[in-house]
Amino acid sequence: MSTTPHPRLVELLQGAERTLIFTGAGISTGSGIPDYRGPGGLWTQQQPVYYQDFLASEEARARYWEMARAGWEAYRDARPNPVHHAVVHLERRGKLDMVVTQNIDGLHVRAGTSADHLVELHGTNRAIECQTCGDRSDPEPHYARFAATGTAPRCACGGFLKSATISFGQNLRQDDLGRAMEAASRADLVVALGSTLSVTPAATIPLMAAEAGAPYVIINRGETAHDGYPGLDTRIEGDVVEAFPPAVAAALEQGAD
Ligand SMILES: [Zn+2]
């Protein structure tokens, strides 16, 4: 197993000042988080609760909370891995414009990526959000209460409480999408990490950056939907945790003299 960084990726990272990093579930498996949409994932075994059903029925809300609780328990103790930390190093050296992530695990925040440089396109499960007044709160007490009662919790205002993630059937937040698109339009390098690039509209973000002229690098284990894209600069097949942090370290080290 070689840890020699990919020379082209090192070169691109050295020259970049406005890198757009796009991340998917493949970067979190190194933190012990299961890929829910992948083979054997929870969401392939259970029918997801659509947002419209969640709003419409008490039974659907309870079913949602049961699934969300299983997810919360799997995510709760996860820690950032070297990929998340490498992204933070790029930010500290002024090379990062934006991280756009499909992940809801909050690990970029935990690693230290600042809010100005982060778009969590699919939301975060590190907060519970009221669907009426928008109030956000810590998940732990809500899941504890749900475990005790089996009833989906409600806000003090009477609104339905839900994980601050984007559910199936729920639109992305327009301001998040807008910030991601702006970052794509000004990026001078775009690197997609651990994503099959098959979920839209999220996966259109790196493509927009490439279309706008940024060199496009994909690191993923297994095929991606953009492998045949003619504007692709570099495709690295394999584990992101092995491929990306050493390249960042090499680029920052060589740029330090
Ligand atoms: Zn409320």
CA of 244 to the centre of ligand 1 (A): 41
Q: Which residues contact 14 (CB under 8 A, 6 or more apart)?
A: 251, 254, 255
For the cut 50, the answer to whether the pLDDT of residue 103 exceeds it is yes
- Mean of all residue pLDDT scores within the chain: 92
Q: What is the pLDDT of residue 7?
A: 97
Q: Give the least confident one: 22-31, 90-99, 105-114, 216-225.
A: 22-31
Q: Which residues surround ligand 1, an ion (CB under 5 A)?
A: 130, 132-133, 135, 155, 157, 159
Residue with tokens 């419209």: 52
How far, CA to CA in Å, does 121 sit from each of 144, 165, 175?
27, 9, 10
Q: What is the pLDDT of residue 37?
A: 53
Average pLDDT of the residues in 67-87: 90
Q: Give the least confident one: 212-216, 240-244, 252-256.
A: 252-256
142 is catalytic: no
CA of 150 to the centre of ligand 1 (A): 20
For the cut 50, the answer to whether the pLDDT of residue 40 exceeds it is no
Give pLDDT tens digits for 170-208: 999 999 999 999 999 999 999 999 999 999 899 999 999
**DSSP assigned state of 22:** E
CA of 79 to the centre of ligand 1 (A): 30
Q: What is the pLDDT of residue 39?
A: 44
CA of 162 to the centre of ligand 1 (A): 11
**DSSP assigned state of 26:** G
CA of 130 to the centre of ligand 1 (A): 5
CA of 155 to the centre of ligand 1 (A): 5
CA of 128 to the centre of ligand 1 (A): 11
Task: Identify the active-site residue in 6, 84, 117, 122.
Answer: 122
**Model confidence band, residue 70 (pLDDT cutoffs 50, 70, 90):** confident
For the cut 60, the answer to whether the pLDDT of residue 32 exceeds it is yes
Q: What is the pLDDT of residue 48?
A: 86
Is 31:102 a contact under the CB 8 Å cutoff? no
- Is the four-CA dihedral 198, 22, 31, 103 of positive or negative sign? negative
